[in-house]
Structure 1
Amino acid sequence: MKTVIFDWKQTLYDPENKSLIDGALEVLNFLKNKKVPTVLVGKGAQDMHKEVKRLGVKDYFLHINFREGPKDPSLYSSFVKRHAPQKSIFVGDRVRSELAVGNSLGATTIWVRHGEFANEEPENPMEQPDYSVNSLQELISIIEKV
């Protein structure tokens, strides 16, 4: 069974509106019903843990890891490695700082193209996602087939 590793900000969570992005609950419920292990990683501190709890999504995740400071590839790579890269699906909104890490480790990568980085094009093959979606709801059909 594959593990789905989600980036938090701009993938599932809209920090500007302090709310889940449309379709987030639908995808999380689908994964929970299918008993697919999910992991949440991202940049942030205790405030992000509080947001996850406030929004009622904490129990959807097997692991949650937020780290303060600049985005560091090790934030993502440690979880991808821990969950067998070839059996992991990494979902993020940044081709350069998130999906490139998943690709370098051999995970299946899905680019959620919305928000601030929707038009950030890959600059090299390592940044090229396996799949690209414009909405979270589109993840369901991709996850079912990989």
Structure 2
Amino acid sequence: ANPRPVVDPALTNSRAWRGAEVPAANGHATARALAILYGALAIGGELNGYRVLTPASIKRAHTEQCSGPDLVLGVESRWGLGFALNQAVAPIGPNPRTFGHPGAGGSIGFADPDARVGFGYTMNQMGSDALIDGRAGALFNAMFAAF
């Protein structure tokens, strides 16, 4: 049996899917919202007087808890608590403490505490990449090159 669940793209465009609460599978956000959220995490967890996570929680988010073959994604992966970590197979920037999460079809959000930057990318046409969509990768590589 295939350990990787396959979600029909027609289902993900339905009102029922968008209204369901499916942990780790159907979060909805704009690129701006992702960048703001991860930007807050990149600068210590607080933005405009609102605390998202404590500094101790952020440290646990970018501290490796497990690594190895990911049976769902079909690649080697590294995980902190609740977040994917930077990894050689699909780097999300040059810094080792970067953490975030890819989404279906190519979306991604991440925080880089070393660069003190958050990043969000969403698209209106789903790609087939399991981890880093080439479109998102080109954008965040250009962002890091500008530093």
TM-score by length of structure 1 reads 0.25
TM-score by length of structure 2 reads 0.25
Larger Rg, first or second structure (1 or 2): 2
